């Protein structure tokens, strides 16, 4: 049995319960209550099929029986690597119904990452689709099983391979009787997820139902998500924010369309066809939709709010958004797998007025800025952001060193993000990641401050400044950029534009124009890949 390695002190846990932040519900409590309330109303749809609340609950109980039939038991870890299809929530809820632990991973992970994760998490089973975006998952799973450890391979598609169990046609399985449902403690680890691993082996983040449900509940409350809403889920459901979007849907009685692969044209068509009201996204996807030829011809007046996170939305993107979608609220969010949602701007805020911030701390959470020596920073002083509250994870699996560094004491979790409070209302500005600091000859700076200025330059579509190795000064700033159609730019022009706006040691010393950026599934630029490409 996997146990929590960190947990709030007894007094704080009591406070979370007294305030209603921890309702001590299970996932299936939420699902089956929603099925009673909404019955035949649609809950999820994808390109293949649509499910009502009642049908989802029925498939979950049948899937639970299926999982037991292939040998999965309470306390077992099962790794899910699935695209955005309705089979994901079916499998996820079914695992909790039998007391197993769902380990959700990115559909972009490949053999070396999968082998590490399966072994590290001690997974007894692996659930996948047959293929996604042309990639075949079953051969990869067989290869990993042969080289590493034995585990059950389960495919959500209809396959007849003797060494694979198919989850298709769940109707042939009996529903798991309610008397056989496993009731687990709401404080027990019920899911884990691995960090992106762009700077080394990924870490396994542990969550309970209490830490999970609060994150979905508070965002839905502040974004006023209700049963009339239609959510568009193209963020990968195998990752935290995409998965929490599914929970938001069920907890509010709304419905969601699961989009397997983002394309700006298809997203615009779905907004019009499905009358989408709410989209969680990364800025890159917003830019792609705003720049699409069909943006003005599509009927998009159903859109109520778009929540963006993972990276800061450039000022020019916000201005274009306000021109093209004047009735839609744009909210900027700050969160991470380990903590849920730290802070966000609010629906009533002027996006331009709060640009450069990620808003104010959410209800129930606390944020502080700490100096390197562990003391609290003053207002307006930069430092490392720390979070404490009911949605904070319960530690990293089998990683005492990282747990010790990340949880220095008194339930505070150090995020690795550097920021500051910029006003008396405690709006938070992110300065950069601790690991992204560029050290040029002993003079250190954060790429973000240079990037924000460069987004005002008309040639740039998307950009990133990274530190690349240099024999003379240790690291030098290299600017990677994609350009707007019809534009060209030279390093000399960029330097001339920046000179006088930042210190000379922060001026880029190399320019690399690319067709597209390597991205994480959550829309963050893989800066380590950029460094490797020129090192």
From first to last of the 535 residues of the chain, give the pLDDT tens digit: 788 889 999 999 999 999 999 999 999 999 999 999 999 999 999 999 999 999 999 999 999 999 999 999 999 999 999 999 999 999 999 999 999 999 999 888 888 889 989 999 999 999 999 999 899 999 999 999 998 899 999 999 999 999 999 999 999 999 999 999 999 999 999 999 988 644 456 789 999 999 999 999 999 999 999 999 999 999 999 889 999 999 999 999 999 999 999 999 999 999 999 999 999 998 878 988 998 999 999 999 999 999 998 767 777 888 899 999 999 999 999 998 999 998 999 999 988 888 878 999 999 999 999 998 999 999 999 999 999 999 999 999 999 999 999 999 999 999 988 899 998 888 998 877 767 778 786 676 778 878 888 998 999 999 999 999 887 777 899 999 999 999 999 999 999 999 888 878 889 999 999 999 998 766 778 888 898 898 7
For residue 55, give the CATH number of its domain.
3.40.50.980
Whether 270 and 417 share a structural domain: yes
CA distance 359 to 342: 9
Whether 82 and 101 share a structural domain: yes
Region of 308 (left: φ > 0; alpha: ψ -120 to 50; beta: rest) is: beta
- Among 415, 433, 451, the domain boundary falls at 433
Nearest Cα to Cα of residue 61 among 26, 36, 32, 25: 32
Whether 161 and 279 share a structural domain: no
CA distance 385 to 412: 10
Whether 369 and 456 share a structural domain: no
Q: Is residue 6 part of a domain?
A: no
Whether 57 and 148 share a structural domain: yes
Q: Is residue 317 part of a domain?
A: yes
Domain that holds residue 74: 27-183
Whether 136 and 264 share a structural domain: no
**Residue 421: which H helix or E strand, with range?**
strand 413-421
Residue 225, classed as helix, strand or coil, is: coil
Tokens standing for 457? 């330059």
Q: Is residue 483 part of a domain?
A: yes
- Residue 476 β-bridge partners: 468
Q: How many domains is the chain partitioned into structurally?
A: 3
- Exposed, middle or buried: residue 316 (CB in 10 Å: 0-12, 13-18, 19+)? middle
For residue 408, give the CATH number of its domain.
3.40.50.12780
DSSP letter at 396 equals: B
* Cβ-contact 446, 460 below 8 angstroms: no
CA distance 244 to 116: 25
Tokens standing for 488? 């060209």
Pairing of strands 383-388, 366-370: antiparallel
DSSP letter at 518 equals: -
Whether 395 and 260 share a structural domain: yes
* Cβ-contact 435, 416 below 8 angstroms: yes
For residue 465, give the CATH number of its domain.
3.30.300.30
Whether 227 and 334 share a structural domain: yes
**Residue 204: which H helix or E strand, with range?**
strand 204-208
Whether 36 and 162 share a structural domain: yes
Q: Is residue 53 part of a domain?
A: yes
């Amino acid at each position: 049995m996997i146990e929590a390695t960190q947990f709030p002190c007894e007094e704080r846990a009591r406070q979370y319960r007294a305030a209603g932040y921890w309702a001590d519900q299970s996932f299936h409590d939420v699902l089956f209550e929603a099925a009673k309330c909404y019955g035949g109303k649609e809950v999820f749809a994808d390109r293949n099929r649509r499910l009502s609340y009642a049908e989802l609950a029925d498939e979950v109980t049948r899937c639970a029986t299926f999982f037991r039939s292939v040998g999965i038991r309470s306390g077992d870890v099962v790794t899910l690597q699935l695209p955005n299809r309705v089979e994901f929530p079916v499998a996820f809820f079914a695992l909790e119904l039998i007391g197993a632990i769902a380990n959700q991973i990115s559909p972009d992970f490949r053999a070396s990452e999968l082998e590490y994760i399966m072994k590290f998490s001690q997974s007894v089973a692996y659930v996948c689709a047959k293929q996604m975006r042309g990639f075949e998952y079953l051969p990869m799973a067989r290869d990993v099983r042969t080289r590493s450890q034995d585990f059950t391979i389960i495919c959500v598609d209809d396959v007849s391979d003797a060494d694979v169990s198919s989850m298709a046609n769940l109707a042939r399985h009996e529903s798991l009787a309610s008397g056989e449902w496993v009731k687990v403690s709401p404080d027990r680890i019920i899911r884990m997820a691995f960090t992106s691993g762009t700077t080394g082996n990924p870490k396994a983040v542990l969550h309970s139902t209490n830490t999970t449900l609060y994150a979905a509940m508070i965002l839905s409350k502040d974004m006023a998500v209700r049963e009339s809403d239609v959510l568009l889920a193209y963020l990968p459901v195998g990752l935290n924010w995409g998965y929490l979007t599914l929970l938001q849907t069920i907890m509010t009685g709304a419905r969601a369309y699961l989009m397997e692969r983002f394309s700006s044209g298809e997203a615009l068509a779905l907004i019009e066809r499905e009358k989408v009201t709410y989209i969680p996204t990364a800025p890159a996807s917003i830019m792609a939709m705003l720049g699409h030829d069909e943006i003005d011809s599509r009927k998009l007046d159903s859109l109520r709010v778009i929540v963006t996170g993972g990276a800061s939305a450039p000022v020019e993107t916000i201005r274009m958004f306000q021109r093209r979608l004047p009735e839609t609220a744009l909210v900027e969010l700050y969160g991470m797998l380990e903590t849920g949602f730290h802070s966000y701007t609010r629906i009533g805020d002027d996006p331009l007025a709060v640009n450069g911030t990620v808003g104010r701390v959410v209800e129930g959470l606390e944020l502080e800025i700490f100096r390197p020596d562990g003391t609290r920073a003053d207002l307006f002083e930069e430092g490392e952001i720390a979070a404490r509250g009911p949605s904070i994870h319960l530690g990293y699996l089998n990683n005492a060193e990282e747990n010790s560094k990340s949880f220095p004491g008194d339930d505070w979790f150090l995020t690795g993000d550097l920021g500051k409070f910029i006003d008396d209302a405690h709006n938070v500005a992110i300065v950069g990641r601790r690991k992204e600091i560029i050290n040029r000859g002993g003079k250190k700076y954060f790429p973000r401050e240079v990037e924000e200025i460069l987004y005002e330059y008309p040639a740039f579509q998307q950009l990133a400044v990274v530190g690349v190795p240099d024999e003379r000064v240790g690291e030098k700033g290299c600017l990677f950029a994609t350009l707007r159609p019809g534009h060209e730019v030279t390093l000399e022009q960029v330097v001339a534009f920046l000179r006088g706006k930042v210190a000379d040691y922060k001026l880029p010393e190399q320019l690399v124009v690319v067709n597209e950026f390597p991205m994480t599934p959550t829309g963050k630029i893989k800066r380590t890949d950029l460094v490797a490409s020129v090192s």
